[in-house]
Amino acid sequence: MNQKRHSKTTASQEAAKTRALINDLVRIVQILDDAIKSEEELAGVFDPAQAKYPMHARKLAARRKNLIDTIATLSSGEKTAPHEK
């Protein structure tokens, strides 16, 4: 019985840590969005397909995409994780 209670506590603690990580990553994505917009405004180029699009904005956009993919993976794992009874 004590083992079950410990498992539930551990699972809920892990879920809370995962939610906190997701929230932190969402905030970082928002910061990256702002930084990309600033770079675009500074260069006066808003289309990534243009040759003059800022390289720093491209790198930030790649990082943002990776974080969004990570958020999606963590979110789906959190929803599909088996709950111990």
* pLDDT tens digits for range 7-16: 667 888 999 9
Tens-digit pLDDT profile for residues 24-35: 999 999 999 999
Q: What is the pLDDT of residue 77?
A: 82
C-alpha span between 17 and 82 (Å, rounded): 16
Q: How confident is the model at residue 85 (pLDDT cuts 50, 70, 90)?
A: very low
Domain locations in the chain? 32-80
C-alpha span between 41 and 56 (Å, rounded): 12
43's CB contacts (< 8 A; 6+ apart) are 52, 53, 54, 57
Average pLDDT along the chain: 89
